Structure 1
Amino acid sequence: MANKEIPELTAASALEGDELVHVVQDGNSRKTTVDGIVDGAFRTTAMWSDVQVASASFKIFNAAGTPRALTFNTTALTADRAATWPDANVDLGDIVKAWVNFNGTGTLAVRSSKNILGVTDNGVGQYAPVFTSAAPHANYGVVGSCRIPASSGLAGASCTPFSTYSGSHSDVAPTTAGFVVKTYTQGANNQIDADFVMLMVIW
């Protein structure tokens, strides 16, 4: 094959990723693939400004160097949207500090959780989740929802954190170790065990 300048070469078709590419690394000629270049570029910290991405997804890498896909669903967008980041490092997997999904009827059973050591059953409709790792302060927020079994014949139930019931409703301040929550019927305002209790903690 005759030597040609780059402008003289025939244009390539769409790249598949496994094409060989010549690179110079540490002063030496090396070969790699198009995929190898992309992986290396996205593994390296880069500063982007006013970036336009033709595809709705691209690869990012976790701390172990394993590629993970990050996908943006833009099919429902009807106008330009802006995402604003705070002037700080953000760990997307660590915004919710603790959460739990448990069955509060019969023998209490935790279905799944994060940073929850366990949930104590304090009586009918009264529960006390305990953190695995203590909160840095007691001024966190708790979002909760619950469901009571249809067999109860009742319309629905409410879930209230930082509150308990023993003949009357009482406020119970949260602590760095955990908090209490009560579930009760709507309207009648009576304590009742819920078969689904879902709690999320943010601090």
Structure 2
Amino acid sequence: MAGTFPDSWTETALVSIMKKGGTKYEFAAITETIDISEPDYPGESLMMVGGARLFKQSPQEDGEITLELYPLELDTTAGQGLFQEFTGGTWDVAQPLITDTSWAEGIQRPRDRFLVAIMWTDDTTQDSAIDIDATGTANTVATRFYAKECRLISHKADFTDGILKVTATFKFPALDSAGTTKSHAWESSNDMLVSGSADLVDLTYA
């Protein structure tokens, strides 16, 4: 027996973000919009003198995930903002929380990398797009997109409409550094019962 997919996925989704080697946190409660731009496959045709066209393929470009958020605070364990995740450095854990302002002169500071996952499902046992519920529900369905190696490249805050909103953009490469694994994927399941063989599985990023 298998579940039936709806006519469309609307209104709600699960949004999960995890720093590489860290803990996953949930952001659906403060997310208004989600935009996924998968890496383009660019190229162009070259005209030969005889009039023929040859297609010149270019390397696949980077992808982006943009979230519109309504953040509240800087606690990195609360899923209430991406302030410290964007700033990088050492995350503050003692109140008052402050984004890191200490920089060592002449020393490279790599950007933190993240796993970002979005899942649409009718399985009411699910509460994360990264960790699938230990049991799941038979005959329920889900569609998931995830990207690893994400860098948080943009964090724009505004109060134009009288409410604090942040537009955050994650950028990810098409492939990993070895060139052997895509950094992103789409998945779907028509039966989320974990004891079966069709359910989606937990995502890892260490």
Larger fraction in helix: 1
Higher RCO (Cα < 8 Å, 6 or more apart)? 2
TM-score, normalisation: structure 2: 0.20
TM-score, normalisation: structure 1: 0.21
